[in-house]
């Protein structure tokens, strides 16, 4: 069964989508630990930045028009609703993954698939306060269950706000990567995130947190990072490797600009840095 990893932080501006896109891509493109992996990355953010990172605009809008987005996992298309299927608790069935995902690339026996997001997801978020979300939660859970049988790794790029999306993502994940940038109030943001993870646990279990410092100085360690690493309740969750501040990690777009294809200064060092982080993540998660 594949591992499910949510990438999330309640604080914005920490490079969450860039981290998700690069980790998902390198997990499929490189034989981390000499192991090829089938990887799915789910864009679960109404801003759909991750979708834009991997897809050409023409391709993206065609997929959105055909409802091949995460929205179809949560909601039925009223036009194509099956009248012979009773919509009762326990019988809410999402589409098959194969009918929704888009193949980004195949590489040495591995591959990366993407399930895009859409701005229409925002209307779901706005309406959930007065609506019944149980059917959507059930559909999402069943979809992830199927994906576990098809992929070695499932990454979920989740938006930075408490909602149906964060709730369903965390409750169906084994691990949470918390990107942290060396900024003011970073320590407070991690505390809020840890409390949020615990509040969404199912039974006595919650996804294992992994704090990943992002955009760190290439030389030296910031005071914010030192403070967080020295905080007893966070120490064990901090990843040893950090993602350094390289221009090669700049926001990719339309499938271009990823570190492994970058020609920006120090791109080789950036790729080596990313590989170190990805290898550590595989070891920490057992993926």
HSE-CB of 187 using CA atoms within 13 angstroms: 13
Q: Identify the pLDDT of residue 60.
A: 97
Q: Does the pLDDT of residue 277 top 50, yes or no?
A: yes
User: What class has domain 3-285?
Assistant: alpha beta
Q: How far apart are the first and last CA of the chain?
A: 10
CA torsion through residues 149, 155, 157, 163, sign: positive
> Quick one: average pLDDT of 13-19?
90
> Quick one: average pLDDT of 197-211?
80
CA torsion through residues 40, 43, 49, 52, sign: positive
- Nearest-Å Rg of the Cα atoms of the chain is 19
HSE-CB of 256 using CA atoms within 13 angstroms: 5
Angle between the N-to-C axes of helices 164-171 and 134-150, in degrees from 0 to 180, rounded to the nearest 10: 40
- E strands present in 116-257: 153-158, 175-180, 208-216, 243-244
Strand pairing of 110-115 and 153-158?
A: unpaired
Highest mean pLDDT among 11-15, 120-124, 239-243: 239-243
**Averaged confidence pLDDT in the chain:** 89
Backbone φ/ψ region at 241: left (φ over 0), alpha (ψ -120 to 50), beta: beta
Cα(222)–Cα(211) distance, integer angstroms: 15
Q: Does the pLDDT of residue 36 top 60, yes or no?
A: yes
Q: Identify the pLDDT of residue 79.
A: 43
Structural domain boundaries in the chain:
3-285
User: 190 pLDDT band (50/70/90 cuts)?
Assistant: confident
Each residue's pLDDT tens digit, 70-85:
999 998 864 443 433 3
pLDDT over 70 for what percent of the chain?
Answer: 91
Question: For residue 130, what are its two tokens?
Answer: 């007065």
Cα(105)–Cα(111) distance, integer angstroms: 6
Q: Identify the pLDDT of residue 84.
A: 37
Each residue's pLDDT tens digit, 105-156:
998 889 999 999 999 988 887 765 556 788 899 999 999 999 999 999 999 9
């Amino acid at each position: 069964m594949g591992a499910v990893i949510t990438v999330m932080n309640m604080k914005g501006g920490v490079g969450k989508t860039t981290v998700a896109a690069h980790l998902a891509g390198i997990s499929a493109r490189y034989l981390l630990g000499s192991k090829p992996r089938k990887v799915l990355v789910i864009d679960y953010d109404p801003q759909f930045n991750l979708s834009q990172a991997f897809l050409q605009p023409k391709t993206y809008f065609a997929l959105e028009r055909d409802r091949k987005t995460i929205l179809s996992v949560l909601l039925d298309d009223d036009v194509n609703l099956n009248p012979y299927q009773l919509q009762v608790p326990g019988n809410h069935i999402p589409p098959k993954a194969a009918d929704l995902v888009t193949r980004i690339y195949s590489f040495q026996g591995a591959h990366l698939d993407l399930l895009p997001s859409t701005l229409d997801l925002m209307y779901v978020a706005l309406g959930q306060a007065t609506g019944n979300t149980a059917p959507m939660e059930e559909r999402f859970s069943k979809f992830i269950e199927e994906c576990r049988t098809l992929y070695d790794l499932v990454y979920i790029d989740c938006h930075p706000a408490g909602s149906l999306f964060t709730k369903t993502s965390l409750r169906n994940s084994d691990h949470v990567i918390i990107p942290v940038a060396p900024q003011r109030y970073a320590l407070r943001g991690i505390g809020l995130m840890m409390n949020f993870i615990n509040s969404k646990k199912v039974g006595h279990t919650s996804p294992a947190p992994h704090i990943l410092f992002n955009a760190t100085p290439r030389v030296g360690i910031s005071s914010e990072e030192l403070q967080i690493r020295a905080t007893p309740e966070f120490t064990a969750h901090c990843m040893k490797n950090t993602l350094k501040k390289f221009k090669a990690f700049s926001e990719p777009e339309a499938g271009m600009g990823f570190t492994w294809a970058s020609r920006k200064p120090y791109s080789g060092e950036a790729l080596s840095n990313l590989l170190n982080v990805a290898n550590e993540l595989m070891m920490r998660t057992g993926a």
